[in-house]
Amino acid sequence: MTLSQVSGRLGALAAASVISATLLFGVPTQAQAASNGSYYKIELAQPAASKQELLRSVVVKCEGTACRAPMASTAAKNMCISVARKLGSVSAFTAGDRVFTADELAACNAGA
């Protein structure tokens, strides 16, 4: 094997390593979204009385009518119902990429 063949293979290996690292560490995951407190995005009909509440083992943080929380180990509908019970009527609810429909919001608020 000649020197040019070795350096060509090392270059290809280096390029593959860079691409792999970018894909592995450069793309945000659902777990990362949960860790920064934005898995659940909630809009309340009225401003929340408190700035944060512990619901379903996660802290829900609110500013006015906008609330957010990391992922909880519960179904999204259960989290929505808990928010409605503790913080008031929910006008919009998103869990990850899933946006609740008007019917799901009605069921959420009815469960409160």
Mark whether 49 and 7 lie in a shared domain: no
- Report how many domains make up the chain: 2
**Does 55 share its domain with 18?**
no
The predicted-structure confidence for 48-95, as pLDDT tens digits, reads as follows 988 999 999 999 999 999 999 999 999 999 999 999 999 999 999 999
Identify whether residues 22 and 41 lie together within a single domain.
no
pLDDT tens for 19-44 read 554 445 544 455 544 455 589 999 99
pLDDT of residue 16: 55
Q: Within this chain, do residues 81 and 47 fall inside the same structural domain, yes or no?
A: yes
pLDDT score for 17? 58
Cα dihedral sign, 106-107-110-112: negative
Q: Whole domain around residue 82: which residue ranges?
A: 37-110
**Cα 55 from Cα 60, distance rounded (Å):** 7
